[in-house]
Amino acid sequence: MSRPLLVVRPEPGNSFTVASARALGLTAVAAPLFEIEPVGWTEPSVERFDALLLGSGNAIRYGGPGLAALTGLPAYTVGEATADAARQAGFDVAGSGSSGLAELIPKLAADGRRRVLRVAGEEHVELDPPPGMSVETVVAYRARALALPEAARASLENKAVVLLHSAAAARHFAALCERARLAKSDIALACLGARIAEAAGSGWHEVRIAPDPTDSALLALAADMCQSP
C-alpha cells in the first residue's frame, strides 16, 4: 500500500502540484500551510535600473501597480511558469533559469546588466552579485503561516510523504508536527533543495532531496518515496 502525499505549498501552486501528483497515480492531499498576501511597496525610479529579476510568479501576482510601472525593464525569471506570467503581464523576458536566482546572475552579467531590481517575497535568499553589479531588492509579498488542517493530520498519521518547496515551509511544518505531537519518525520529507532539508531538522523517517530544483523532479522523487515501505 502506497503512502499518501501531502502538498503544503500555498495556492495557486498547491492545486497545480496536487493535480500533477494525482495524474501520476499518487494519493495527493492538498493542505496549504501558507497564504500569500501583498505587501505595500513603492516602486523606485525605473531609470535607475537596467534589468528586473523575478524569482517567483508571486512577484507578478502580488506586485500590484508598482510592478506594472516596471514593464519597460527586461525581465529575468526563475522557471518557465514565471516567465509565461511575466510575458502575460507585459514584460519582455530576456532570460530564464530553472535552478534559482543565483543561476541568473552570470546571465545578467553576460548581458551587461549592472543595475538590477529584484522583486521578492519577505523571506528571500540573499544574492552575491559580481563586482560592478548591484542588486536592489524590494519586498512585494509575504507568506502568512496557517494552522495544520485536519485532513493533513489524518494523512500524517498514515505515514505520509510531505512535499517541501521552501525553507520557511520546512521550519513551519516541523514546528506544527512538534506542537501536535505527531511522530516525526513516521513522516518522510521530499525536499526541493538541500537548504530546505536542512531547515526541516532531524528525526524524520526519511529526508530526500530532488536531483533538480523543479516540480517535476520533486514529484518523481515523491512517487518513489510513496511506494517505499
Q: Parse the chain into domains and list their residue ranges.
A: 5-33+146-227, 52-143
CATH architecture under which domain 5-33+146-227 falls: 3-Layer(aba) Sandwich (3.40)
| Predicted model pTM | 0.84
Closest CA to 218 of 153, 199, 226: 226
Quick one: pLDDT band at residue 6, thresholds 50, 70, 90? Answer: very high
| Per-residue model confidence (pLDDT) at position 206 | 96
What per-residue string of b and e applies to 156-193 under the rule 16 or more CB within 10 Å gives b? Answer: beebbbbbbbbbbbbbbbbebbeeeebebeebbbbbbb
Q: How far apart are CA 57 and CA 49, in angstroms?
A: 21
The pLDDT tens digits of the residues spanning 149-195 come to 888 998 998 899 999 999 999 999 999 999 999 999 999 999 999 99
Q: How far apart are CA 33 and CA 227, in angstroms?
A: 25
- In a 3-state reduction of DSSP, which class is residue 40? coil
Structural contact between residues 120 and 142, judged by C-beta atoms closer than 8 angstroms: no
The H-or-E segment that residue 68 falls in is helix 64-68
Quick one: pLDDT band at residue 1, thresholds 50, 70, 90? Answer: low
The overall average pLDDT reported for the chain is: 92
Number of neighbouring beta carbons within 10 Å of residue 203 = 13
The pLDDT tens digits of the residues spanning 48-57 come to 999 999 988 9
CATH architecture under which domain 52-143 falls: 3-Layer(aba) Sandwich (3.40)
Percent of the chain with pLDDT over 90: 75
Burial-class residue 47 by CB neighbours within 10 Å (0-12, 13-18, 19+).
Answer: exposed
Quick one: pLDDT band at residue 102, thresholds 50, 70, 90? Answer: confident
Residue 99 has pLDDT above 80, yes or no: no
Closest CA to 167 of 124, 120, 119: 124
Structural contact between residues 97 and 53, judged by C-beta atoms closer than 8 angstroms: no
Structural contact between residues 205 and 187, judged by C-beta atoms closer than 8 angstroms: yes
Peptide bond into 12 cis (omega under 30): yes
